[in-house]
């Protein structure tokens, strides 16, 4: 492509709308333009990158035995009602765009395709002989993200590869899952990125085992905890660990103490001269279930620990049947306004004890009259502990479970694992932390969707069984931007050869110089002919501007038909290292071809 004929617009200044380097660079270099919140146009250079990523994804999926298809983006609400996700996706999480057509039918714009694919499977799969199968598509997804940001990283319209496997049993699912695991590793390595595979929370989608693939980068929205021995890595939402050792309590007898103005753990420690590990902290949460019921939760956890709201959320979803509900709509720490809706009298905030009386809760049909009390193991282990006295400005010391306080029946791991904690698999290993960008996620779904939607098959013995499913997603557009986040310098983007929009750019410093133009055009034709995708910068611009633009857009090799032509040579600069060398014009094509071949096969 000739730059003189391209829609090629670069910006010298960082656009105000962008916060992280990859977003700034993609905007500045003319790869993307913002159309609305979380909505972007992929311009020609970006589209080439996205097609290359898609092609790598396609090749690896095909090699793993999956088949490509294309499913509808407009999805009838009935399917989502069958699976039980319509309410959660349109209201609770609110992530699905929904609409009503002119026949008054409700539709959703596909944020994911479990419902559609399970419907297809229900219609078409009859026998174990048809299993296993794995279908995938590469397509635009729609999600009404609460905080669209960072350009293509968290868009409201983005490109995803999603695959769904159908298996006859868990063992077969395990094999499909492992094949996808390998395919994902190949995809990310082939794209030239450094990544880590981590244990992940399965969230609202349901199912059991799941793993995420994280591109390591400072700007990543996710936190990963891992050990140096390489044997443990997990998203912090899911991570487990051994908490730090507790200090022996300095208190031996139960007593109520005045602790003025001590409504934080830090202030309590100062006021009572104790360690945060001596304290049972009690945190209030408010949950709203899909039947409209509000449940107040009192979580007791050791003073130096934090509640993991993802784990708490999962626990509450499990408890839904207990409240005649099927799922959770919202979980929050109630602020003053929220408290007013259900509290009979002012709560002793900052001084709450594990036995906060149920009579704080006003009676009402949609409010559960008793606190759901959950205790984390870190608090169970405490003796002679400090905790609130249910009275502002007072704490108790030297308290014990089974004496002054009844231990809640529900003991559950709801704590956040922390950097510096010891690992469960080997306590000599200490958890370290890294930031990551989630580019892929693979799930073992089990029979959640097949059971809900009646997708069954007949097994070898003639018995009818629900199909066992897995689902596997790659964020194609997010991955492309993540590559920039991992590979850039002060001058611009540095694309890995595998997904660069073009391999080489030929710069003609002075287009009025006939010789410069002629050599450039010749090389341009020859390179493109043998598959070295090449741009020709034949714009009527200063050489300096052209060099800057070439660096900014990040093409791996820059060829300059400048002064060295007198000696029959061109200058070749490698974008990544900035190394420059002069190469005989007659050897240029062969040299570039070899360099690219070596990189591709390494």
Q: Angle at Cα 493 formed by Cα 185 and Cα 517, nearest 5°? A: 120
Q: Provide, rounded to whole angstroms, the least separation between the CB of residue 67 and Mg ion.
A: 23
143 makes contact, choosing from Mg ion, ligand ATP, none, with CB < 5 to 8 Å by partner type, with ligand ATP
Q: Which residues contact 454 (CB under 8 A, 6 or more apart)?
A: 122
Query: Interface with Mg ion by CB under 5 A: which range of 52-60, 433-441, 477-485, 572-580?
Result: 433-441
Q: Minimum CB separation from Mg ion for residue 185, in Å?
A: 17
Which one, 111 or 509, has the nearer CB to ligand ATP? Answer: 111
Q: Which is nearer to ligand ATP, 361 or 439 (CB)?
A: 439
* Pick 223 or 459: Cβ nearer ligand ATP: 223
State the nearest-atom distance from the C-beta of 210 to ligand ATP, in Å. Answer: 8
Q: Pick what 314 binds: Mg ion, ligand ATP, none; C-beta below 5 to 8 Å, kind-dependent.
A: none
Q: Angle 44-63/170-190 helices, nearest 10 degrees?
A: 140
Question: Using an 8 Å Cβ cutoff, are 471 and 506 in contact?
Answer: no
Half-sphere exposure of 456 (CA within 13 A, CB side): 10
Cα(61)–Cα(474) distance, integer angstroms: 11
> Is residue 395 at the binding interface for Mg ion, with CB under 5 A as the rule?
no
Site of interaction with ligand ATP (CB under 6 A): 112, 143, 145, 154-155, 158, 160, 438-441, 473, 475, 477-478
Residue 441 beta carbon to Mg ion: minimum distance, rounded to whole angstroms? 4
Nearer to Mg ion, 14 or 181 (CB): 181
**Which residue of the chain is nearest Mg ion when measured via CB?**
441
Q: Which residue has the tokens 């790869």?
A: 31
Q: Where are the beta strands (DSSP E) in 312-403?
A: 328-332, 372-375, 385-391, 394-399
478 contact, one of ligand ATP, Mg ion, none, CB 5-8 Å limit per kind? ligand ATP
Q: Are 396 and 259 in contact (CB under 8 A)?
A: no
Q: The tokens 């069954």 sit on which residue?
A: 456
Which of ligand ATP, Mg ion, none has residue 112 at its interface (CB below 5 to 8 Å by kind)?
ligand ATP
* Angle at CA of residue 339, ends 333 and 342, nearest 5°: 120
By beta-carbon proximity to ligand ATP, the closer residue of 162 and 304 is 162
For CA atoms 44, 550, 486, 574, give the dihedral sign: positive
Binding window for Mg ion (CB under 5 A); candidates: 71-79, 311-319, 437-445, 582-590: 437-445
Contacts of 486 (CB under 8 A, 6+ apart): 193, 194, 215, 216, 217
Could you tell me if 51 and 502 are in contact, meaning their C-beta atoms sit under 8 angstroms apart?
Answer: no
Whichever of 277 and 477 has its CB closer to ligand ATP, that residue is 477
Nearest CA among 20, 202, 158 for reference residue 439: 158
- Residue that the structure tokens 């590793």 belong to: 185
| Minimum CB–partner distance for residue 159 and Mg ion (Å) | 15
Q: Taking the complex as a whole, how short is the minimal distance between the CB of residue 137 and ligand ATP, in angstroms?
A: 13
Residue 200's closest CA among 473, 467, 486? 473
Q: Are strands 372-375 and 456-458 parallel, antiparallel or unpaired?
A: unpaired
Smallest separation (angstroms) from ligand ATP to the CB of 145: 5
* CB nearer Mg ion, residue 238 or residue 441: 441
* Region of 5-13, 254-262, 365-373, 435-443 interacting with Mg ion (CB under 5 A): 435-443
Stretch binding Mg ion (CB under 5 A), from 89-97, 439-447, 498-506, 534-542: 439-447
To which residue do tokens 């290359």 refer? Answer: 52
Q: Which of 23, 415, 441, 448 binds Mg ion (CB under 5 A)?
A: 441
**Tokens coding 199:** 């244990």
145 binds, among Mg ion, ligand ATP, none (CB under 5 to 8 A by kind): ligand ATP
| 52, interface contact from Mg ion, ligand ATP, none, CB < 5-8 Å by kind | none
Length of the chain: 602
* Sole window of 171-179, 218-226, 436-444, 550-558 interacting with Mg ion (rule: CB under 5 A): 436-444
Q: Which residues does residue 414 pair with via DSSP β-bridges, in sequence order?
A: none
Non-local (6+) Cβ contacts of 78 within 8 A are none
Distance of CA 269 to the CA centre of its chain: 37
Q: Which does 539 bind (CB under 5 to 8 A by kind): Mg ion, ligand ATP, none?
A: none
Beta bridge partners of 298: 284, 373
**Tokens coding 191:** 């794209």
Residue 438 C-beta: closest distance to Mg ion, Å: 6
Shortest-Cβ-distance residue relative to ligand ATP: 475
Residue with Cβ nearer Mg ion (216 or 410): 216
C-alpha distances (whole Å) from 335 to each of 93, 197, 293, 341 are 20, 37, 18, 10
Please report whether residue 143 would count as binding Mg ion according to CB under 5 A: no
User: From ligand ATP, Mg ion, none, which one binds at residue 440 (CB under 5 to 8 Å depending on kind)?
Assistant: ligand ATP
Q: How far is the CB of 141 from ligand ATP (least distance, A)?
A: 7
In whole angstroms, how close is the CB of 72 to ligand ATP at the nearest point? Answer: 18
Choosing among ligand ATP, Mg ion, none, which partner's interface includes residue 304 (Cβ < 5 to 8 Å by kind)? none
Q: Which does 475 bind (CB under 5 to 8 A by kind): ligand ATP, Mg ion, none?
A: ligand ATP
Q: Which residue has the tokens 């507790």?
A: 246
8 A C-beta contact, residue 556 and residue 495? yes
Residues at the interface with Mg ion (CB under 5 A): 441
């Amino acid at each position: 492509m000739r730059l003189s004929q391209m829609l090629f617009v670069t910006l010298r200044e960082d656009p105000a709308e962008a916060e992280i380097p990859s977003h700034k660079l993609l905007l500045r270099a003319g790869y993307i333009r913002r159309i609305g919140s979380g909505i972007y146009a992929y311009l020609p250079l970006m589209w080439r990158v996205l097609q290359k990523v898609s092609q790598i994804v396609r090749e690896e999926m095909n090699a793993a035995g999956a088949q490509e298809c294309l499913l509808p983006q407009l999805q009838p609400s009935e399917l989502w009602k069958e699976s039980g996700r319509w309410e959660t996706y349109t209201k609770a999480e609110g992530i699905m765009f929904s609409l009503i057509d002119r026949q008054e039918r409700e539709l959703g714009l596909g944020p994911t395709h479990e419902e559609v694919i399970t419907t297809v499977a229900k219609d078409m799969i009859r026998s174990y002989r048809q299993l296993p199968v794995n279908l995938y598509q590469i397509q635009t997804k729609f999600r009404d993200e609460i905080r669209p940001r960072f350009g293509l990283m968290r868009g409201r319209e983005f490109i995803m590869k999603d695959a769904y496997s159908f298996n006859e049993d868990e063992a077969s699912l395990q094999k499909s899952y492992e094949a996808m695991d390998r395919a994902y590793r190949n995809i990310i390595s082939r794209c030239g990125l450094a990544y880590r595979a981590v244990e992940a929370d399965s969230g609202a989608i349901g199912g059991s085992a799941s793993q995420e693939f994280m591109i390591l980068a400072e700007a990543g929205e996710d936190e990963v905890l891992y050990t140096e021995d390489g044997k443990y890595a997990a998203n912090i939402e899911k991570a487990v660990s051994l908490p730090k050792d507790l200090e022996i309590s300095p208190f031996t007898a139960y007593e109520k103490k005045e602790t003025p103005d001590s409504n934080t753990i830090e202030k309590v420690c100062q006021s009572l001269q104790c360690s945060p590990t001596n304290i049972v902290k009690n945190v209030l949460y408010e949950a709203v279930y899909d039947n409209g019921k509000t449940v107040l939760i009192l979580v007791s956890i050791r003073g130096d620990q934090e509640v993991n709201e993802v784990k708490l959320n999962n626990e509450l979803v499990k408890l839904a049947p207990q409240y005649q509900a099927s799922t959770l709509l919202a979980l929050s720490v109630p602020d003053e306004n929220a408290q007013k809706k259900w509290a009979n009298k002012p709560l002793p905030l900052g001084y709450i004890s594990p036995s906060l009386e149920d009579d704080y809760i006003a009676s009402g049909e949609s409010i559960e009259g008793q606190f759901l009390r959950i205790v984390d193991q870190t608090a169970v282990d405490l003796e002679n502990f400090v905790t609130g006295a249910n009275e502002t400005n007072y704490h108790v010391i030297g308290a014990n479970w089974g004496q002054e306080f009844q231990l809640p029946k529900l003991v559950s791991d709801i704590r956040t694992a922390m950097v510096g904690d010891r690992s469960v698999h080997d306590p000599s290993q200490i958890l370290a932390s890294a930031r990551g960008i989630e580019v892929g996620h693979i799930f073992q779904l089990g029979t959640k969707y097949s059971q809900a939607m009646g997708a069954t098959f007949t097994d070898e013995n003639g018995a009818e069984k629900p199909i066992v499913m897995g689902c596997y997603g790659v964020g194609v557009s997010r991955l492309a931007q993540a590559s920039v986040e991992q590979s850039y310098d002060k001058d611009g983007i540095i694309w890995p050869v595998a997904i660069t929009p073009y391999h080489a750019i030929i710069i003609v410093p002075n287009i009025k110089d006939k010789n410069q133009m002629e050599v450039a055009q010749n090389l341009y034709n020859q390179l493109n002919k043998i598959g070295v995708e090449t741009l020709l910068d034949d714009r009527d611009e200063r050489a300096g501007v052209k060099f800057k633009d070439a660096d900014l857009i990040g093409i791996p090799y820059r060829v300059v038909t400048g002064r060295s032509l007198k000696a029959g040579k061109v200058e070749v600069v490698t974008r990544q290292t900035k190394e420059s060398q002069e190469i005989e014009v007659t050897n240029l094509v062969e040299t570039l071809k070899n360099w690219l071949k070596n990189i591709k096969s390494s």
